[in-house]
A and B are shown apart, each in its own frame.
Chain A
Amino acid sequence: MTRLVACLAFALLAFFAVAPAALAMTIEKIVSPSGIQAWLVREHAVPLVALNFAFHGGSSQDDADKAGAANLATDLLDEGAGEFDGKAYHERLENHAIDLRFRVGRDYFRGSLRTLNEHRDEAFDLLNLALTKPRFEADAVERVRGQELAGLRRETTNPNNLASRSWWSTAFPGHPYGRESKGTLETVPLITADDLRDYVRRVFARNELTVSIVGDIDAETAGKLIDRAFAGLPKKNDLKPVAAASPSNLGRRIVIDVNVPQAVVTFGGQGIARHDPDFMAAYIVNHILGGGSFSSRLYKEVREKRGLAYGVSDHLVWFRRAAVVIGGTATRGDRTADALKVIEHEIKRMAESGPIADELNEAKAFIKGSYALSLDTSGKIAAQLTQIQIDDLGIDYIQRRNGLIDGVTIADAKRVAKRLYSGGLLVTIAGRPKGLTSSTVHE
């Protein structure tokens, strides 16, 4: 009887069809029998199911002296859970060709699952075990800790890691966003199994869980699978608050000496919150400056015209409590100063004059068209649905997106370019850049 009621309680709340020319998919909002909400896209062409989910509460939940705890816990979830030791657990995944991946960022723990239809019950059961009954046995903890430490040791001489770590720790000193999720050689050895259990207990809960499913599955079955995985979790999480923050030390340049032929440069400054009304304008303007296409200004000036680097780009990055614009390049030591000068000049020029109308139109066309093209696998669609939910953009966001882009005028673009790029840059360089040294005040 209880079961029947639960099935009746299951309901479809909304349908949103997206015009086929943009993206041939319909997002359904579903609620599982136990009351967990999720977004579903039915895709019958391939007999598989892709699940993507997130819990609020990432590595910014780590204590500073235990940085890396969330990451270590994440790595250990599939190393033994419930009645299965790590070997038996992995055998079950492998026997059924189930892909199960977890990762942790500063704000969120994220998971993805891919399974053939015939094995989906087993897949969701295994996921449930990992989330609710991870074992964290001593030998597995030490083995995975050893792997993490080996990776961290490698990073001590890797210029990419050195430049990036320096940028974040200088931009957000003392703040959880200033720390890498994987922790450091000092903190990882201090993490105990209790720290790992504490992370799982505080974060894996139903109240800030986001779920997306794409695949050859109907809404009712999807609801049941969601419950298989998540219904057993605690109702409410227990998170530590994270303070709002802005990047500091803008205007500074830091050089980290490491003997490599090519210096790695990270640069960045204040970004823009996802819910800021200027976000879309900023996104477009940044695409024009350096957003990773063959046509960006940085690409043209640094790579094409001068051959200074193989890659150069910058991106908007947003967290729940901060936002930055951050980019990078890598260039030989004797020309690093030239490359940096070009980058700083282009950023200044964009701040002062903004884009021209032609660039704006090209960027809008690209950003509109590329969205559907980028969503080309079930896994990618599921991940995007999770991101839209996390960013609280609404189930009709994909429909509204073109309108938001078209609504950005050249005046908006110029105004937002000034806002985005006038705040100064923090620049960190790992390598031996000729003629460049660390500075406290840099123009």
Chain B
Amino acid sequence: MGRNNQGCKVPIVIFRQNVFLAVAAMLAAALAAPALAAGKAAGNVADFTLNNGLELVVIPDHRAPVVTHMIWYKVGAADETPGKSGLAHFLEHLMFKGTAKHPAGQFSRAVSHVGGQENAFTSYDYTGYYQRVPSEQLKTVMEFEADRMTGLRLTDEIVLPERDVILEEQNQRVRNNPRARLSEQVDAALFLNHPYGKPVIGWRHEMEQLSRDDAIGFYRHFYGPNGAMVVIAGDIEPQAALNLAQETYGKLKRRSSIVPRRRAQEPPPVAVRSLTLADPRVEQPIMQRSYLVPSSNTAKQGESEALEVLAHLLGTGNNSRLYRGLVVDKHVAVSSGAWYDGSALDMARLGLYGAPRQGVTLPQLEAAIDSVIAEVIAKGVTPEELERAKTRLIADAVYAHDSQASMARWYGEALATGSTVNDIEHWPDRIRAVTAEQVQDAARQWLDKRRSVTGYLIKDTSPQAEKRS
């Protein structure tokens, strides 16, 4: 049960607080599969744009008198100035420090007073904040959220301890975790020019220097109604939600500094890259490989869906090519799998990973993974496995309707990375349409080693290792 899912993927979305396990589970569900069509639970999804540029998406779901209110700013770690890595995430933390109108803690208290949940998250392409509250509290949280879109007030007394918090967060997520260190190195090597190569949490030496002025500067540049999208899922009608949005967000002025995002793009990858990270704490070596592939936003028609199906049949579940080939049949790995994360404004990644059995070397494991890929490229995929993968991906879309928060997150993430509501609703149709030829073509075209970085994580046994770590 989930043993084969010991992925090496560093979460590229990080949360403000890690204690809400339910939220982590929701995120896992949301990352597990992409968008979906409207089903019975969700009524018709409505999409509006206010005069000041703010986009509003409403996903009616009347099963319980509850709403999930999310605001998505179309700015993330990929939009940071060079030398200021970690700033988007740092600002996300600081957004809880109060405004001129509502001192620190007031918003959180209002949410918690009604039993609501709240959290925030940062990724490369977006920064989000959300509350789950009883429906009658929707206007209140919209007022608070609209207020902190422009009213944030920061002083060094609150900024500096919070910088220590994000440094501890970096300790916890990365420095204490050899696998996360490896992923950081692989990403940095994969992206030669695009800011996706920086960690969302930041490089530590730059995080240590982030200041109040950095945070306020970033905030004033990027946070405004024309750079934001509000997604409301729950017990509310679209027109009523629109009225509330007009009364709250609608009063804010457009920010002229917000312009379409244009990041430095990757040159065509030409070299097979590999790296080794040695860490004294490694008791189970692993390898992971990331390929530079199209995202749902940059792909040609059908390509992203083919990659989705390809990653699924290569590496999700006990009958996937990698698990069955390496773990069950050849006995060279204790775990192996694959993933594709297509929700990116610019290029995306497709990843493979494996942990060797004792007595098997990483190069032997890598050769076995290569042979699985080579076979898919040469011989394609069977109709049965194609059907299985599609069935599962489409079912995930139905299952997602069971969770209001997953729905809101799904729409938000897709819309923040270039999709439209129409794209999301027709996603199951596009998955259904994927052919075996498209999957084979995707493997041939994109799983070219020159597009990839392979990372080995091994135990550092040198005498200095103890001191270094």
Contacts and interface: CB of A to CB of B under 8 A. Distances in A.
Contact of B115 (A44, A78, A143, A371): A371
Given A75-B3, A330-B171, A330-B176, A376 B64 contact: yes
Contacts of B61: 45
Interface residues of B, number: 78
Contacts of B162: 307
B114 A45 contact: no
B283 A143 contact: no
B17 A294 contact: yes
B108 A102 contact: no
A15 interface: no
A442 interface: no
Nearest to B22: A374
Interface in B254-307: 280-284
A401 to B, nearest CB: 12
Contact of A157 (B133, B283, B334, B399): B283
Contacts of A90: 317-319
A95 interface: yes
Contact of A24 (B64, B160, B319, B335): B64
Given A294-B112, A303-B165, A362-B112, A261 B175 contact: yes
Interface of B: 1-3, 6, 17-20, 22, 39-41, 61, 63-66, 96, 105, 108-109, 112-118, 132-134, 160-169, 171-172, 175-176, 280-284, 317-319, 324, 327-328, 331, 334-335, 355, 357-358, 387-388, 391-392, 394-396, 398-399, 401-405, 466, 469
B319 A369 contact: no
Contact of B161 (A48, A103, A292, A306): A306
A388 interface: no
A237 B34 CA distance: 43
A116 interface: yes
A295 B1 contact: no
A366 interface: yes
Given A86-B328, A264-B176, A294-B112, 13 more contacts: A47-B40, A50-B402, A86-B318, A87-B324, A95-B388, A97-B396, A101-B1, A116-B398, A260-B281, A260-B469, A310-B168, A311-B17, A366-B115
Interface stretch (A6-14, A145-153, A242-250, A270-278): A145-153
A204 to B, nearest CB: 16
Nearest to B393: A97
A248 to B, nearest CB: 28
A24 B334 CA distance: 45
Interface residues on A, range: 35 or more
A77 B109 CA distance: 46
Contacts of B398: 46-48, 116
A311 B172 contact: yes
Contacts of B175: 260-262
B436 to A, nearest CB: 17
Interface in A355-381: 362, 365-374, 376-380
Interface string A378-394: 11100000000000000
Interface in A246-272: 258-262, 264
Contacts of A36: none
Contacts of A153: 283-284
Interface string A49-90: 010000000000000000000000011001100000011001
